[in-house]
Structure formats: C-alpha cells, structure tokens
Amino acid sequence: MNDSPIAAVEDTEVVVVGARCAGSATAIALARAGRQVIALDSASFPSDTLSTHLLWPAGVAELRRLGALARVEEVGAPHLTTALAVGAGYQVTTPFTPIDGIDYSICVRRIRLDAALVDTAAAAGVEVREKCRVLELIWEQGRCRGVRYRDPGGELRELRAALVVGADGRRSTVAQLVGAQEPFADKRSGRDCYFAYWRDGDTAHRRIAAQWREGADLGTAFPCDDDLVLSLVQPPAQPGPLRPGEAERRYTEAIERIPGLTERLRGSTRVGRVRSATNLSSYFRHSSGPGWALAGDAGHFKDPITAQGIRDALRYGRILGERVAPVLDEPAALDVALRDWERLRVRECKGLYQWTNRLARGEAMRPWEIELYRTAAEDPVLASATTDIFSRIREPVELFTPFEAVSLSMRALWRSRAHPVAVVRDTAREVRDTAADWLESRRTLHVGYRASPPPGAQTSTLPTARPATNCPGDHRV
C-alpha cells in the first residue's frame, strides 16, 4: 500500500493501462460505444518501442475497422503487395488474398503507428494521459475497482472504474498485480531476434515482403516508412545475457550467412543501432477476472517469426471493447463477457500459436518443409494457401492435415531414398509433434480450461491496493 497522500480521486467507466496497440484498440471501441475511458501510459507520444511491426492484410484491415488506417497511411509506408519466401534453393512468390478489400501488407515503425492509434483514440473521445505510472490496483469485495497512479508531476492519483484493462505488454504491471504473470501455457523459443533499419538502396523491391531460410538462420526484409527497410534475423538462440557489442556481431554474422538477404541489402546503409529480443517465450496468461482483463502481449504473446502480435492486439482489443461496452454496469454480465472474450482469443489463436512454436525451433529446414517449398514454388494454389495462414485466412491445420504432412514426408522420402534415415526420423517426429499439439489443445488450451481465478487473485472484502514498481508501455515484438 502506497503511503503517499492521494491528490485526487476520480470516477470513470474504464481505465486502460497502456495506450499502444491493444490499449488504443480497446479504448476506441469503448469510446465509440459511448463509454467514458481514460488511458494511462508511462510514455509520451510519439514514442518508440521494441517491435518488428509488420502487418499482414488482416492487421491492415483491423486498422481500418478502428478508423486508424487513414492516419497510418499518411506516414507513407509502401503497400507490400507480394510475399516472397526463399528456402533450400526454392523461391515462392505470391500476391496477398484480399481481406475486406485489403490486399497488401504494411510495415510502419512503432513511433508512427502508435502515435496514429493514440490520435485516433483521442478523436474517438478517449482521454489519454501520458507519463503516468500505475502503482496499485484498488479492490473492493473481491473486484478490481480502479488504479492508483503517479502523474507527471509526481502526485499520487486514484481512478475508480468498473473495469481495468491491462494492455501494458509482456512485463505487464497489471498481470503482476492480479497474480496472472505466470502463464498457463508457454513455449520457449529456439530463436533470438535481432533487427535494424537500413536506408533502402533497392527501389525495385519496395513492394515485396521477403523472408529467407538458410541453414538454421532466418532473415527478412520489410520496406517501411521514410524509405527505410526493416531487416530482421532470427538465428538459433544462445544462452546467457548479451555482452556489449554482441547483438551487433550476431546480427552482422547472421546476415552474412544468408546470401539472399545480403544481396537484398547491397547498396543500402544501416541507420541506427541493432535491437535485440532474446530469451523469448510464447505464452497464454489467464486474462480475465472480476473487473479486470489483459489485452495484447499482457495476456498472449507469440514469437515474432510469424509477425502476428500487432494484428492480434488490434483485433482482440477491439473485440474486448465491443463485448464489454453494453454490460459495464452489470458486474455479473461483465464477468461473463470477459470470460467469453478470453476463451475466444484462446480458441482463435491456439492453432497459430502452435504453428509459430514449430517455426521458432531454431533448426534447419526439415525434409517435409523443403518438400513444401519445392511444391509451392511450382503450385501457385499451394503457395497462396500457405501465405493465407500468415494472413489468418486459413488455420494451419486446414492446410497441413495429417494426410498432407504424410504426403510431403513420403515425397521427401522418395527424393532421399538413397539416404532415408533423416526423413524417417523427421516423419516420426512430425507424428509426435502433432500428437503433442493435440494433447496441449485438449488439456491446456481447451476453451473450458478456467474453473477458478488465477493464483494470487484478490479475494479480500476490504478496499485494498497492490503495489508495483512500474507501468511499461505495450511493448510488442
């Protein structure tokens, strides 16, 4: 409990902690439904954050649903109309299947993207308070009833509300305060992530979102705003903390191991430092309870290898706002709406979560993956269907059925019949992995998983508060 005197006590309907992607989306939906929303963020916008920020067409469509696309388009990032994937000597090129009329991806730096979202939220009627650091949650009769926070002048203030939404990133203060910081499902990534911006010297490829696989390395080139290109590499993870200068070395060495990426960056000049995200884990956290919810990375995170974080933050933030807006005044109905929203996110994201975890193993391409690239390079229907997984038009299981996996493995076995052991091992592993995913879906990710509040949830009947040390923004990779 903070002992400082409280300078002011205010009432509102919803407090959103974190005003970036998930927070702005939630706040916009609530404000448009006529609800009073105050969003708190420790940053002052425009503000950058660690993120690789590619938006597939589904993410661009979410920007339009929120009314933010026009502001984002003003930034001037090119429309990426072609997806290029290169692996094992095979090149797969596809256009994007339209989603609600959107047939392109965009890659906008977070300093511009988040500012556009915050401006859209303010225009919708959200009160955005910057440089505010949440310290405690207020509890009454077992319900979260607001927050205490430090304002830019250092004064302690209190906001009372029917709902507190934590949209404050992977290191969420709200998740910590409700006792939900430990995930109920998680998977350590086998890859580290390093990225930097380059002044793009290749004008011929400014409309292409490209990815290369070379050995165990993965690299990308995504043209973005200000004539820059975002180049990311994900080599196999290395244990331990990064020493000074090590991110720079690992980034440079990984690019040199990927000839296609090296050629793409030829004539380009790097701008700024190398950024890193290591020791990554994908996860689901318990994300709803009496008077609180966790949106965006605060509740669910996937390795950046599939570039899904911003789209999911926007989509499920918007849906959260839309679903709770009609029932904010009815605690029992609000709790049901929060649980239903949480289960919806698990149900819709679990397939891509498991697919992402496979791609994030940090291994060289497996025989069936090579066969997939080989086949897709000659079959535009298969190539488009594979891209549709990343655009969230298809579920991985729709394309990579057990029959298709066995078929790809058998073709790979035929091509490698002189040395079949590796393919046989890979096929056996694929069967084991498929079974493990099925069991995870049934036991851990089943939509009815939640029978009780997460550990540490507040149950006291007295007004209390829980302290925290910080309130970071919604950091997304």
List for the chain the helix, strand, coil content (%; round to 5).
40, 25, 35
Rounded to whole angstroms, the Cα distance separating 231 from 275 reads 11
Same fold flag, 6-77+108-187+282-356+454-467 and 192-279: no
Give the pair of three-digit tokens for residue 462.
């007295």
Consecutive 10-residue runs of the chain (477 residues): their mean pLDDT? Answer: 79 98 98 98 96 96 98 98 96 97 98 98 98 97 97 97 98 97 95 98 96 97 98 95 93 98 97 96 97 98 97 98 98 97 96 94 87 91 93 87 65 62 68 74 66 43 41 39
Per the CB < 8 A criterion, the answer to whether 390 and 351 are in contact is: no
328-339 pLDDT, tens per residue?
A: 999 999 999 999
Helices 309-324 and 57-66 meet at what angle, rounded to 10? 30
Element (H, E) at 229: strand 228-233
Rounded to whole angstroms, the Cα distance separating 194 from 217 reads 12
Rounded to whole angstroms, the Cα distance separating 364 from 113 reads 34
Burial grade of 469 (CB within 10 A; 0-12, 13-18, 19 or more): exposed
pLDDT of residue 7: 78
Per the CB < 8 A criterion, the answer to whether 92 and 383 are in contact is: yes
Cβ-based neighbour number of residue 7 at 10 Å: 13
Q: How is residue 149 annotated by DSSP?
A: E
Give the pair of three-digit tokens for residue 404.
């298709």
Give the pair of three-digit tokens for residue 281.
């884990």
User: CA distances (Å), 459 to each of 3, 64, 138, in order?
Assistant: 22, 40, 12
Characterize the bridge pairing of strands 37-40 and 14-17. parallel
Tell me the longest C-alpha to C-alpha distance in the chain.
Answer: 78
Q: Domain residue spans in the chain?
A: 6-77+108-187+282-356+454-467, 192-279, 363-443
Topology adopted by domain 192-279: D-Amino Acid Oxidase; Chain A, domain 2 (3.30.9)
pLDDT of residue 75: 97
pLDDT of residue 475: 39
420-457 pLDDT, tens per residue?
A: 666 667 667 776 777 777 777 777 777 545 434 454 44
- Correct CATH for 6-77+108-187+282-356+454-467 of 3.50.50.60, 3.40.50.300, 1.20.1250.20, 3.40.50.10800: 3.50.50.60
